[in-house]
Chain A
Amino acid sequence: MKLDSKIPSGPLANKWSKHKQESMLVNPANKRKFRVIVVGTGLAGSSAAASLSELGYNVDAFCFQDSPRRAHSIAAQGGINAAKNYQNDGDSVHRLFYDTIKGGDFRAREANVHRLAEVSTSIIDQCTAQGVPFARDYGGLLSNRSFGGAQVSRTFYARGQTGQQLLIGAYQALSRQIYSGNVNMHARHEMLELVVVDGHARGIVTRNLVDGRIEAFAADAVVLATGGYGNVFYLSTNAKGCNVTANIRAFRKGAAFANPCYTQIHPTCIPVSGDYQSKLTLMSESLRNDGRVWVPKKKEDLSKNPASIAEADRDYYLERKYPSYGNLCPRDIASRAAKQVCDEGRGIGPAGRGVYLDFADAISRFGKKVIAERYGNLFDMYATITGEDPYEVPMRIYPAVHYSMGGLWVDYNLMSNLPGLHVIGEANFSDHGANRLGASALMQGLADGYFVLPYTIGHYLATAKQPKVSTEHPEFKKALADAEARLKKLLSLKGKRTPDSFHRELGLLMWNKCGMARNARGLKELLQEIPALRERFWRELVIRGDAASMNVDLEKAGRVADFMEFSELLVRDALDRDESCGGHFREEHQTEEGEAKRNDAEFLHVSAWEYQGEGQAPLRHKEPLNYEEIKLQTRSYK
């Protein structure tokens, strides 16, 4: 496999404009001769499908939800970064670029990140023109807030629903194109196979989730905008339907999977309350401005009413360990510290997996009213879910899986090593390195969909010169047969266990040995345990109902089967990356103070894994990361 990142030559700041100049174009009359498949309708997928259709391409768009507006981008709360420098506080494209590279612990490509920072400003213009109701100041201009990892205010927001408003903007643009007839929208369709003809991605096979019909769709290019794989841990902040199926199907057809071990654990989520738990809910990072994080010093205090525990018997461990950043230290560090005190047996709440986030000091200093103005909606959400009043008792929080920095490998054109297969948004690996900064996921999704892919896919279509294919081609017939055989095999199993029960078991294995902290011994054990679990899955599973109608357990079973396969790849990558960086913490590699210790001499590269066939270990390729602009440093938050 040849991994050519196709990064343009020349000075960093000129690369994107030079690349656009040198890219081939498709003339307007010819665009309508091309058809593009877009899978997924989150920020990346909706914005790409709408923009491609506006240009004149024919688009087939797919989502598994009942409407494109439901994709999980909608749940993003905080905001979207852009280097507008509206606050006159010294922001610039270069500063956003630098913060993103450093935040990613120097494991992202310079050229991609610089382009992201460059187009960030156009995103805000575009969304405003669509009618996205961003927060404004009294003078009528746009308002900004600050986010982690930056010393400027560059985050644009729409109350606590920024993701929702940006997605509705993209959804409306997509709706307009559906109305024009240029986009065929296929909701409640799940992609089951990628079809590759003569080495080029030319179509997909889907299952209609309403009536079970298996269908094939042919096109001139395929775009995957299928999100992250956080649900491999079962419990995460992802939506229930988020899955890795499209990406793992593409991997099996030859697309390289890059850095699967990079997963982000967010420190402030509402903890697990019981075995029935189905997902975890995020509490905004902003709460740590006024909340103090602590656990009891003594184990015998764990079951006491927290208010009755004396100040001297509390351990404000973040303030103790990181005096200069205190409760506002970065996500990965806060998460690991919480795990540590819980591992010591000092975690609070059910199962001992939780720490207090206490507002008592802030309430006595500012009054309840001020705190309600700042965080009222979050306090209400917490009270709705837990039944506890955070104005009276401290919140209980614990870290949870949140975002996938890894994904399918793409070059500068957002095309995978499989010609024609483009991957955008969270589904690709390209921009966040080993750790993503807050408010950068929305930026990347929309950058890819509105302002990068529409240029780069044109170059591919203009130069690929592939003959038209129809779904009558033998490769389509074969992919259809493969998808059907797989469903049939799942339905033929006559065991006793449901897909959910296996998913929970896999998630627990992954969380315990490949979660916030990892070590070689645990990872090696997982490489035995996952195949054993997978073998049991394919023996002990049972699915009620049939394939010819809506069957929720069949949908789940297919996704769990793919997670069973993907989890092994993730673990393999975590074992192979024998260093700590960003969200990937190998216990063997830490400083004396317990901080992540990078190894630039050996691991300054992207790991891209190539499928080698059923039952075969995948092959790891390296794409070296060349830093021309930035000097490598050690992050410190003491």
Chain B
Amino acid sequence: MSAHNEKPMKLKLHVWRQRSPQQPGEMKEYALDNVDAHMSFLEMMDVLNEQLANNGEEPVAFDHDCREGICGMCSMVINGQPHGGHKGVTTCQLHMRHFSDGDDIYVEPWRAKAFPVLRDLVVDRSSLDRIIQAGGYVSVNTGGTPDANALPIPKTEADQAMDAAACIGCGACVAACKNSSAMLFMSAKVSHLGHLPQGQAERYSRVKAMVQQMDAEGFGNCSNLSQCEAACPKEISSKVIAELNRDFLKGSWRGE
């Protein structure tokens, strides 16, 4: 059904298909008619999957969950750009009105050594979890914490912490970086906690532990080109990387 005045679009999709991490993958072509401009990109993929299933083919596997731009699960490189390259938008919030009748659309998974493909467009991002596990927290147990207003925090500091904490952990920054570096993701956490008094006790040990983990996972070094910032659906500034570098250096001087 198209209840709108726009004419339904015909699209040619080129989608990465890969059965398992061990098997090689390839781009496959699918023709899709009747695409409504008001569909989200993932709803268009739902329609493709329904069409595939009705033709006796296996649907395209892709990660998705909240479909409102906050869970960080969706992860597609669309026409060469993570999340499609629109400012501040995740794949699930990208709508088909940005495409035109007759378009060719290329859909690929995040590509990085630290993100092995599991199937089709689904990659394993547990490496990001392990970076957080290495030190991306304040070490407090439940209970016995002081009153929340016991420690005033300047609004500007709290706001900067929140700017960095807005990261949804999707990994678009890694997919955009020619070195597949996780610097923006990791620095966002370092900046978030580094701007708060609660984060000071472990400030330098945290940076060191997280950087070591990032290296161990096979992410590359920072390219200094800020492609990560351009690709970030939450528009996190690459200045957080400078903050991480400062703390890393300061930590090594202090011998932590």
Binding site for B on A (CB under 8 A): 47, 50-51, 54, 65-72, 74-75, 84, 86, 122, 124-131, 133-142, 158-159, 161, 164-165, 168, 171-173, 175-176, 178-179, 185, 187, 210, 239-241, 273-279, 281-282, 350-351, 381, 384-387, 450-451, 454, 496, 498, 500-501, 542, 544-545, 549-550, 552-553
Contact = CB atoms under 8 A, between A and B. Distances in A.
A47 B152 CA distance: 25
B208 interface: no
Contacts of B63: 66
B239 interface: no
A240 B62 CA distance: 12
A136 B147 CA distance: 15
Contacts, number: 228
B246 interface: no
Interface string B39-57: 1101110110110111011
Given A54-B141, A274-B39, A86 B149 contact: yes
B67 A125 contact: no
Contact of B154 (A124, A140, A386, A549): A140
B118 A75 contact: no
22 contacts: A50-B142, A54-B141, A67-B126, A72-B66, A84-B148, A122-B145, A125-B148, A129-B198, A131-B161, A131-B198, A134-B148, A134-B158, A140-B158, A141-B149, A173-B142, A187-B129, A278-B46, A278-B67, A281-B67, A545-B58, A549-B119, A552-B61
Interface in B60-98: 61, 63-73, 89, 93, 95, 97
B137 A175 contact: yes
B129 A158 contact: no
B1 A126 contact: no
Given A72-B66, A136-B155, A278 B42 contact: yes
Nearest to A384: B93
**SS class of chain B's interface: helix, strand, loop or mixed?**
loop
Interface residues of B, number: 82
B149 A74 contact: no
Given A129-B138, A129-B146, A168-B165, A210 B43 contact: no
Contacts of A165: 162, 165
Contacts of B129: 67-69, 175, 178, 185, 187
B66 A125 contact: no
Contacts of B132: 171-172, 175
B36 to A, nearest CB: 5
B218 interface: no
The 10 A-B pairs of least Cβ separation, nearest first, read A140-B152, A350-B3, A172-B137, A129-B145, A128-B148, A133-B162, A179-B133, A51-B142, A133-B161, A239-B65
Contact of B38 (A70, A134, A386, A501): A386
A544 B57 CA distance: 7
Given A70-B71, A239-B65, A387-B97, A501 B50 contact: yes
B245 interface: no
Nearest to B125: A66
Interface of B: 1-4, 19-20, 36-40, 42-44, 46-47, 49-50, 52-54, 56-59, 61, 63-73, 89, 93, 95, 97, 118-119, 122, 124-126, 128-129, 132-134, 136-143, 145-149, 151-155, 158, 161-162, 165-166, 168-169, 192-193, 196, 198-199
B196 to A, nearest CB: 5
Contacts of A550: 61, 118-119, 122
Contact of A126 (B42, B68, B143): B143
B19 A549 contact: yes
A135 B37 CA distance: 37
A275 B1 contact: yes
Contacts of A67: 125-126, 128-129, 169
B133 A74 contact: no
A142 B155 CA distance: 9
Contact of B149 (A142, A276, A501): A142
A69 B169 contact: yes
A240 B168 CA distance: 17
A632 B164 CA distance: 47
Contact of A136 (B1, B122, B143, B158): B158
Given A67-B126, A173-B142, A131 B199 contact: yes
A384 B19 CA distance: 34
Nearest to A179: B133
Which of B68, B97, B141 has the most chain A CB atoms closer than 10 A to its own CB? B68
